[in-house]
Structure 1
């Protein structure tokens, strides 16, 4: 058991480290009564459903303002597209992403459970661990990369304050891929991020509300400065002459860029249940998410216009905001430019922090909570993600492993089928009906146990999904020559993976019925529950049933707040 609650902080520390046994007791969560349950894995109670439609709108609008979106138009314009056509490609890709995101958040918003628990219904009580693990690994890697980007902006802020910052002697060997200035910024970024790890996902939406306001203002300030200094937009200077006589090649290149936008959104598409579970009402996540992401077009447009204006002035295209701000200081190190770059860097650092929390830290925390529910909850998982992300020295990934980065760029072919399989399972196989009790039942009698804890149908469908674009993915590394057809199939990697995986799973479930498929005969969403109440020790979950609502626990006993309840109280939303 944990230290007594009336202990002071220092008394708790002394108790925790007084013996290995007490240390183990202190880190063990009281709510973890099995390997499938703790307070952050059970359905979110009403008091934790804090995200409104405006919260989701602010979140997606704020997430649109990041380094990737700002520089997204570069590859499109390099293909010879006009600025308008490049932005249209981004717009339509984001619209498609928003539609899939809303669909993937539907089950979570109605049952108030996150991705790791939802995955149990599709992949099995043990099979889901693989899909949770691969998402957690990505969260660590990209969390470190985003922390490195945040450190770069902090280094820029220090350069604005101290004129001698750029001349600081770099004592780090060039082979390490980082300068002393950026390393200091990286360490400061780590320290600054620590307090945000104390904020649970139920309250983190306030951060995105602030970001949704300050980041567009900073972006507007940058684009207004660029156009004023240049005397206009001059966007045409970015166009690259491209031979468009071969329509097929030109069209497939555009398709590839559309797919790259989908790939950059793929992590968000998979992650959304961990946010949608906290929606106050199911429809809140629909309207907020459907409108927010397509508005990313504004950030992309600002990036294109700013880069075009700067290239017209200085003859160099700065697509990355960090390089742009350094370029401004290189060309004009005045008090006015230093002040402008300082505040812009401050806002971009804050925006990068928000992106890392939403896309990397929160998903990792949910995943590690699922894998180690006895010791880790969301807040502890966030701290663990930050520490490991700091320890992996992400600049080595960015500077010394281009092949690995290429792998991460094409990783979306593995994520597309995961999403489609879960959507088919929920909407078509189970018709919106999930058995919450069974999602926490690890016995072989559970309808989600399948075969040895694994739903082999979903595994086969997952393989079918990524195998189709896999040859082209391998060919993208440049070490193996593949056919033009394979390359073009890879250009449709996310879309093909999504369609093939979903269709394969649907066919397999028609031929080989899954346990619980009888739920499809119920009206859609009939089994949706508002406040899950399971009888203490009487359900099919046995002793695990009482833990579904750990917040009801009082002095080790559960309140008899719903007497004579048989089964689960149903309240259809």
Structure 2
């Protein structure tokens, strides 16, 4: 049993550390009814469906403002694209991403369950663990990288406050790949992030509302300063001389960059169910997400304009915002520039924090909740993600592991098929119908148990999805020579993975029916049910005990047992 609920915080701490048995009792979640169930895995109760259409619009609009998007134009312009054409590539890639994101959030917004639980229907009660684990690992790595970026901005802010900051003696060996200033900023970034880990995903939406307001103002201020100081944009200085005599080579380079934008969005595409599950109404996630992401073109345009102006003035292109801020302070360390850079670095710090929470910390928390439901919920998972991401010393990844970074950059070929397989399973195979009770039933009789707990059809389709661009992916490391055709196929990596994986799964399901497929003749019939029950072990007489979904709801406002919950 857990410590009594009327204990104070100090009493609970004393109880937890009084003995190993009490410690185990203290960390065990009361809501963990089985290895498939706890309070953050079951469908979100009405109290947690707090995200409106504005919430999603603010989220995606705010997510457009980040380091990656600001710097996105650099690789495109280096290929010889004009600024206009580069921005068009970014725009259309984000439009496609937004459409897929809305589709992938459809099931979550109707049934109010996240990615780990939805994956059970597609990959099986045991098979889904593999796809949860690989997403959790990526979340840890990128959370660490984003924490390192936050440290960079804090270091810039400290430089604005203390003139001697840049002259601080660096006692860290150069081989470590980090300076003392940035390391201090990294530690402070860890401390600054801690309070946000206490906020549940259903309540974090306000962070993005603030970010969606302050980040464009900061970006506009940087652009105004750059163009004023340069007396114009000077876009011609970013033009790169490229041989366009071969239309095929030039076209394939553009395709590769389109794919790179899709790849950078691939984590967001997979992650969206963990946010869409908290939608107040299903249509809220549609309009908010469909309109928000394409606006990334504005942040990319600001990055291009600023970089062009600065390069014309100082002869150096600062694509990363923190390099830009340090460059400005190097050239002009006046009180006015220090105040402006301090504000800009503070806003970018806040923006990077928001990106890390949404794209890395929240997904990891959902994944680890699925893996350890007896001990971990969303809030505990967020703290765990922060601690591990701090411990992996992410600057080593950025400075000493180019091969690993290349792997992360091409990893989208594995994520594209995961999304398409789940979409095909939900819309075409299940026709919008999920059995909520079966998603939490690990018995061999469950319709989502498949064969030994694994849906072999989805696993086979997943392999088909990534195996086609795989040779080009291997060739991208430079250690193996592959044919030009293989490289070009890899240029379409995410798109091919998405199409081939989904088509393969659809064909396999036509040839080999999945359990329960015959119950889905009427589209979306299950979404009107309002009396879902979840398996809760066995009763003393051996019968299957069941508990209404409502009983697993918000434990701060516990719903009385037996109350029905409308799932839509």
TM-score bin, normalised by smaller chain:
over 0.9
The CA RMSD measured in Å over matched residues stands at 1.9
Residues 535 and 30 of structure 1: is their aligned pair in 2 closer, same or farther, counting only changes over 3 Å?
Answer: closer
* Aligned equivalent of 1:163: 163
Question: Which residue of the partner structure matches residue 73 of structure 1?
Answer: 73
Residue aligning to 1:229: 229
Give the CA deviation at 1:5.
1.3
Residue matched to 2:516? 516
Cα pair 1:52 1:280 within 8 Å, conserved: yes
Alignment check: 8 A CA contact 2:44 2:553 kept: no
Alignment of 1:57-206 (within 5 A): 57-206=57-206
Unpaired runs of 5+ residues, structure 1, are 563-568
What's the counterpart of residue 524 of structure 2? 525
1:379-418 correspondence to structure 2 within 5 Å = 379-418=379-418
Shift, 1:554, TM fit: 9.6
The CA distance in 2 between the partners of 1:255 and 1:383, in whole Å, is 39
Partner residue in 1 for 2:356:
356
Q: 1:276 corresponds to which residue?
A: 276
- Name the structure 2 match of 1:449: 449
In the other structure, the counterpart of 2:36 is 36
**Equivalent residue number for residue 547 of structure 2:** 546
For 2:251 and 2:555, locate their aligned partners in 1 and report how far apart those are by CA, in whole Å. Answer: 64
CA distance in 2, matches of 1:10, 1:537: 33
How far off is 1:225 after superposition?
A: 0.2
Q: TM-score, normalised by structure 1?
A: 0.96
Unaligned segments of structure 2, at least 5 residues: none
Aligned to 1:259: 259
Secondary structure at the residue paired with 2:527?
A: coil
For 1:172, what is the secondary structure of its paired residue? coil
Q: Deviations over 1:44-91 (max 9, x none)?
A: 111110000000000000000000000000010011110000000000
Query: What SS is found at the alignment partner of 1:546?
Result: strand
Deviation at 1:550, TM superposition (A): 3.9
Aligned to 2:344: 344
1:420-569 equivalent positions in 2, closer than 5 A: 420-522=420-522, 524-529=523-528, 531-534=530-533, 545-546=546-547, 548-551=549-552, 559-562=560-563
- Following TM superposition, by how much is the alpha carbon of 1:235 offset from its aligned partner in structure 2, in angstroms? 1.0
**8 Å Cα contact 1:441/1:544 also seen in 2:** no
Residues 506-558 of structure 1 deviation map (CA, whole Å, 9 limit, x = unaligned): 00000001001113312x21101565442896999965632744446999x99
Match of residue 21 from structure 1: 21
SS at match of 2:126: coil
Structure 1 Cα separation of the partners of residues 555 and 310 of structure 2: 63
Please say if residues 546 and 558 of structure 1, whose CA atoms lie closer than 8 Å, have aligned partners that are also in contact.
no
Structure 1 residues 4 and 329: alpha-carbon distance in aligned structure 2, compared to 1, 3 A threshold: same
CA displacement at 1:560 relative to structure 2 = 4.6
Following superposition of structure 1 onto structure 2, how do residues 317-328 of structure 1 map, counting pairs within 5 Å? 317-328=317-328
Change (3 A) 1:7 1:154: same
Change (3 A) 1:3 1:514: same
In the alignment, the residues of structure 1 paired with residue 438 and residue 159 of structure 2 have an alpha-carbon distance, to the nearest angstrom, of: 56
> Partner residue of 1:249?
249
Deviations 1:156-202 (A, max 9, x none): 00000000000000000000000000000000000000000000000
Answer yes or no: is the 8 Å Cα contact 1:469–1:497 preserved in 2. yes
Q: Which residue of 2 aligns with 1:300?
A: 300
Aligned in 2, Cα 1:325/1:530: closer, same or farther, shift over 3 Å? farther
- 2: CA distance, partners of 1:433 / 1:273: 16
Q: CA deviation at 1:3?
A: 1.1
Distance 1:185 1:192 in 2: 10
Instruction: Specify whether residues 403 and 337 from structure 1 end up closer, same or farther in structure 2 by C-alpha distance, changes over 3 A only.
Output: same
| Cα 1:532–1:238 shift into 2, 3 Å | farther
Report if aligned partners of 1:46, 1:531 keep a CA contact under 8 Å in 2: no
In structure 2, relative to structure 1, the CA distance for the partners of 1:535 and 1:113 (3 Å cut) is closer
1:374 corresponds to which residue?
374
**Separation in 1 of the partners of 2:33 and 2:534?**
15
Instruction: Give the 3-state SS of the residue equivalent to 2:533 in structure 1.
Output: coil
Q: State how far apart, in whole Å, the 2-side matches of 1:307 and 1:52 are.
A: 36
1:289-342 CA distance string (max 9 Å, x none): 000000000000000000000001001100000110000000111111111110
Kept after mapping to 2: 8 A contact 1:39/1:550: no
Matched, 1:220 2:220: yes
Deviation at 1:2, TM superposition (A): 1.6
Q: Mark the CA change 1:535 to 1:150 in structure 2 (over 3 Å): closer, same or farther.
A: closer
Task: Report if aligned partners of 1:234, 1:312 keep a CA contact under 8 Å in 2.
Answer: yes
- Normalised to the residue count of structure 2, the TM-score between the two structures is 0.97
Equivalences, count: 565
In structure 1, what is the equivalent of residue 240 of structure 2? 240
